[in-house]
A = this chain, B = another copy of it.
Amino acid sequence: MSDAPWPFHSPGERRLDVLCLGHALVDRLAYVDEEAVDDARLEHGVMVLVDADRAAEIERLFDGWLQVAGGSAANTAAGIASLGGRPGFAGAVGRDEAGAWYAGDLEAVGVASTVDTVASDLPTGVCHVLVTPAGERSMATSLGAAGWIHSSTVEAAGIERAAVLYVEGYLLDAEAAPAVDRAIDLARESGTLIALSLSDPFVVSRHRDRIAELVFGGTVDVLFGNEEEVLGLTATANLADAASRLAAPGRVAVVTRGSAGSLAVLPGETVVVDAVQVDAVADTTGAGDLFAAGFLFALTSGRSPETALRIGSFAAAEVIGHIGARPAIALSLATPAELGGH
C-alpha cells in the first residue's frame, strides 16, 4: 500500500460531531459495601475534591480497582463514539504513566483526543469511585494536572471543525476557566453550538454567577442539568418555574430526573419523556454523561428534540445497568429501531 498523504488537511480526519472539553481523570472504581464508604471518610453519594495524599490513602484501602480513562466529558465522548458519532476530547494530564496511557485508552474506543501534558510536576488526575451494592457512588477526585488546560490545547482541538462544543461544568473551577473562555470564543467565531453541563449541585453553588452569565447571556445553546442543579441555577422551587426561566429563543435546556424521566425546555414548548426502565441499577456513575452523549449524538445526526431525549435516556439506562461509566456494549448496534437504530 502507498502511504502517500493528502496534500491538504484531510476533511475525513478533521470533522467532529462534538468536541468534549473536560478534566482528564483516570477513573479507578471499586465495588464496596456501605461501611467502606465511611471507613474511607467519604460522603455517601457525592463527589469531593481531595489532594494527592488523600487519593493515595484511599487507593491503599482497597484492592481490585477497575481503571478506565474517565472524567465527565470524556465519558460523554466515549458514549458518542459508541453510538456511532464522531467525538473529540481535549484535556490535560501529568508527566507520568497514567498520563501517557490516558489518550490511548480514549482513542481505542473511537475518540479523537487532544490530551496535552502539563509543564509542572502535577500528577495525572484520578477519581476514586466507591460503588455500593445499591448503586450509589461516592467519589474522591484528585484533579492534579487535569484542570491545567492550556489555551494552545484548546486551539489544537478542532473546535472550529466540530458541530458542538461540550464543556463539563466541573471545568469552571479556577485553573481551567481561561481555557473554557478560549474554547467558547473559538466556538462562537466558527458557528459551533455551545453545550454546557452543570455537572454537580456544588458546581452550581460555587460558580452560580458565571454560569448564569453564560446561560442567561445567551452563550449556551444547550444546557444539561439534573433537577437539583437546574433549581439551584434558576433559584426556583419547582421545575415549572425553572422551565419558564430557562425557555429562550435559540436555547434548549435539558433536565434529567433519574427514574422520573427527562425534559427538554424549548422556546415555545417543553418536551417530556419517560425514563427507560432499568431492572437493576448497578452503578449510576456516568448516567448524566451518557444522557448527554445520547442527546448530543441525536442532535448532530439530525434527530428531533424528543428523539434526542429518548436516545439520551436509552444510553443512560444502559450505563447504570452495570459497573463503570462507559457503555458496556456498542450502543450503535443496540439502539432501538424506533430511534433510528439497527
A12 within 8 A of B: yes
Shortest distance between the CB of A63 and any CB in chain B (Å) = 41
Asked if A4 and B250 sit within 8 Å, CB to CB, the answer is no
Asked if B163 and A7 sit within 8 Å, CB to CB, the answer is no
Asked if B163 and A304 sit within 8 Å, CB to CB, the answer is no
Asked if A10 and B306 sit within 8 Å, CB to CB, the answer is no
Closest to A1 in B: B306
Set of chain B residues within 8 Å of A249, measured between Cβ atoms: 7
Contact residues of A between 295 and 322, Cβ < 8 Å to B: 298-307
Asked if B2 and A269 sit within 8 Å, CB to CB, the answer is yes
Instruction: Out of B12, B163, B266, B306, name the residue touching A15 (CB < 8 Å).
Output: B163
Closest to A163 in B: B11
A267 CA to B6 CA, complexed, in Å: 9
Asked if B300 and A12 sit within 8 Å, CB to CB, the answer is yes
Chain A interface size band reads 35 or more
Asked if A13 and B302 sit within 8 Å, CB to CB, the answer is yes
Instruction: Out of B1, B12, B221, B271, name the residue touching A301 (CB < 8 Å).
Output: B12
A93 within 8 A of B: no
Asked if B306 and A7 sit within 8 Å, CB to CB, the answer is no
A250 CA to B6 CA, complexed, in Å: 8
A198 within 8 A of B: no
Q: Mark A23-62, 1 if CB is under 8 A from B, else 0.
A: 0000000000000000000000000000000000000000
Given A2-B271, A2-B304, check contact A250 B11 (CB 8 Å): no
Instruction: Out of B4, B13, B298, B302, name the residue touching A306 (CB < 8 Å).
Output: B4
Given A12-B301, A13-B302, A300-B12, check contact A7 B250 (CB 8 Å): yes
A307 CA to B303 CA, complexed, in Å: 31
Asked if B8 and A221 sit within 8 Å, CB to CB, the answer is yes
A3 CA to B1 CA, complexed, in Å: 49
A11 CA to B297 CA, complexed, in Å: 10
A64 within 8 A of B: no
A217 CA to B298 CA, complexed, in Å: 41
A193 within 8 A of B: yes
Closest to A6 in B: B305
Shortest distance between the CB of A46 and any CB in chain B (Å) = 33
A300 CA to B12 CA, complexed, in Å: 4
Instruction: Out of B1, B267, B300, B306, name the residue touching A2 (CB < 8 Å).
Output: B306
Asked if B302 and A12 sit within 8 Å, CB to CB, the answer is yes
Set of chain B residues within 8 Å of A306, measured between Cβ atoms: 1-4
Set of chain B residues within 8 Å of A163, measured between Cβ atoms: 11-12, 15
Closest to A305 in B: B4
**14 CB < 8 A contacts A-B:** A1-B304, A2-B269, A2-B305, A2-B306, A3-B306, A4-B266, A4-B269, A4-B304, A4-B305, A5-B266, A6-B304, A7-B266, A12-B303, A15-B300
Listed from nearest, the 8 A-B pairs whose CB atoms lie closest are A12-B302, A11-B163, A2-B306, A2-B271, A12-B301, A4-B269, A7-B267, A12-B300
